[in-house]
């Protein structure tokens, strides 16, 4: 069994990994969005 504390830690780890992944992928998307917004 995983106790609650471990579960929280696992959740946090997954969230952190996702945030790091987003940091790599998001800028490109944001740049595109900014470009589109700038043109309007």
pLDDT band at 2 (very low <50, low <70, confident <90, very high): low
Q: What does the pLDDT average to over 2-18? A: 77
Q: What is the 3-state secondary structure (H, E, C) of the chain?
A: CCCHHHHHHHHHHHHHHHHHHHHHHHHHHHHHHHHHHHHC
Q: What does the pLDDT average to over 1-6? A: 76
What is the pTM assigned to this prediction?
0.38
Q: What does the pLDDT average to over 16-29? A: 67
């Amino acid at each position: 069994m995983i106790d609650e504390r471990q579960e929280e830690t696992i959740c946090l780890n997954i969230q952190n990994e996702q945030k790091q992944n987003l940091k790599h992928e998001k800028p490109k998307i944001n740049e595109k969005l900014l470009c589109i917004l700038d043109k309007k």
